[in-house]
């Protein structure tokens, strides 16, 4: 056997991109510092600090559906070069959807979840699991995230 085998990056070489700071690295004191491969390229983090370079701490990997459904910003769909895209944060984060129907369904599910959360804020005693609309929305999200 000949040829090159792609190696996983060393912990200090692994970097991620943020909208405002460009490249960031996982801080050496983070639990995830030694992890060299994430199934999803997206991380959420609690703290960002700058020493010799910009580091993030208290981070967790997040997959696409939780990011789209629970992330901040408005969800938009668009057709670009024959592909249907779902975008967040004014296009900073984009995902390719399998079809226009999938893109629109994900966008609609996010809108329904946002509305359900607004209803809950207005009426804190509302039981989301007993409410038919709430239980359907939550059930669909749980199924989507767990079968991803």
pLDDT single digits (tens) 42-79: 999 999 999 999 999 999 999 988 999 988 788 999 89
**Do 42 and 61 touch, CB atoms closer than 8 A?**
yes
pLDDT of residue 129: 87
Q: What is the pLDDT of residue 3?
A: 62
137 close to 109: Cβ distance less than 8 angstroms: yes
Cβ distance 104 to 112 under 8 Å?
no
Percent of the chain with pLDDT over 70: 96
Angle of helix 132-146 relative to helix 100-122, nearest 10 degrees, comes to 130
The segment with the largest mean pLDDT, out of 10-19, 51-60, 89-98, is 51-60
**In the chain, where the domains are located:** 11-62, 65-146
Give the pairing of strands 42-50 and 83-88: unpaired
Distances (CA, A) of 29 to 56, 78, 84: 10, 40, 40
Residue 104: pLDDT above 70? yes
CA proximity to 16, closest of 70, 37, 31: 37
pLDDT at 148: 74
For residue 73, what pLDDT is reported?
A: 82
Mean pLDDT of the chain: 89
pLDDT of 133: 93
Q: Is 56 helix (H, G, I), strand (E, B) or coil?
A: strand
Query: What integer pLDDT is reported at residue 2 of this predicted model?
Result: 57
Give DSSP secondary structure letters for 93-110.
EEEEESSHHHHHHHHHHH
- Region 9-17: mean pLDDT is 81
């Amino acid at each position: 056997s000949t040829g090159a085998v792609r190696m996983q990056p060393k912990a200090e070489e692994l970097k991620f991109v943020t909208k405002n700071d460009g490249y960031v690295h996982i801080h050496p004191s983070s639990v995830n510092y030694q992890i060299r491969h994430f199934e999803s390229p997206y991380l959420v983090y609690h703290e960002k600090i700058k020493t010799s370079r910009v580091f993030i701490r208290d981070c967790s990997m997040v997959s696409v559906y939780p990011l789209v459904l629970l992330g901040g910003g408005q969800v938009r769909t668009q057709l670009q070069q024959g592909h249907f895209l779902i975008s967040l944060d004014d296009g900073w984060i984009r995902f390719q959807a399998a079809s226009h129907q999938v893109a629109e369904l994900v966008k609609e599910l996010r809108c329904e979840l946002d509305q359900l959360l607004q209803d809950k804020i207005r009426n804190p005693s509302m039981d989301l699991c007993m409410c038919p609309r709430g239980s359907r929305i939550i059930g669909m999200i749980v199924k989507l995230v767990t079968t991803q």
